Amino acid sequence: MKEIIQKYIFHIKNTPPGSKVLNCLAQHFPEATNIEWSNEKDGVFEAIFRVNGIEQIAWFEKTGFWLKTETNFTLGMLDESIRLKLEQYGQIMSSIFIERANGDSEYEFIIRDNFQVRHVFITDNTGNVRDRQNFDENELR
């Protein structure tokens, strides 16, 4: 039933990846559990899984090359200096740490200001704001 809902309502294809992708996931995330796969439109495979109870999403080319990982951080996982920089804009609703194969990393935060308006903040890996936009809850990323 879950596959039917994902396929027809959310347009998610649960296509299993090849052995190169599976081996790459095992090398990068040997402790991954509850792994769910989808095949993106561009042929990239997306794996959603947990490591030590923390949800992560990783993208792989069909060749097995790891592209990036997004990790859902709790407030307790954030470095205090980063948390303090972002709390000046309001309440941190969510934080995602993004690591890319080229070595770049950044954070994506959703922050609710004093007027209850949500904003998306993109920061560098030390919490310096690079971009800020209003968050449209009706728009899916």
For domain 1-71, the CATH architecture is: Roll (3.10)
Location of each CATH 3.10.450.360 domain in the chain: 1-71
Query: At residue 29, does pLDDT exceed 90?
Result: yes
Mean per-residue pLDDT for 120-130?
96
Say if strands 91-100 and 129-134 run parallel, antiparallel, or are unpaired.
unpaired
Q: What is the pLDDT of residue 140?
A: 43
- CATH 3.10.450 for domain 74-135, yes or no, is yes
Q: In the predicted model, what is the mean pLDDT of residues 119-136?
A: 93
Instruction: Match 């560098």 to its residue by tokens.
Output: 124
Model's pTM, two decimal places?
Answer: 0.82
For residue 66, give every residue at least 6 positions away whose Cβ sits within 8 Å of its Cβ, in sequence order, or none.
Answer: 24, 28, 58, 59, 60, 101
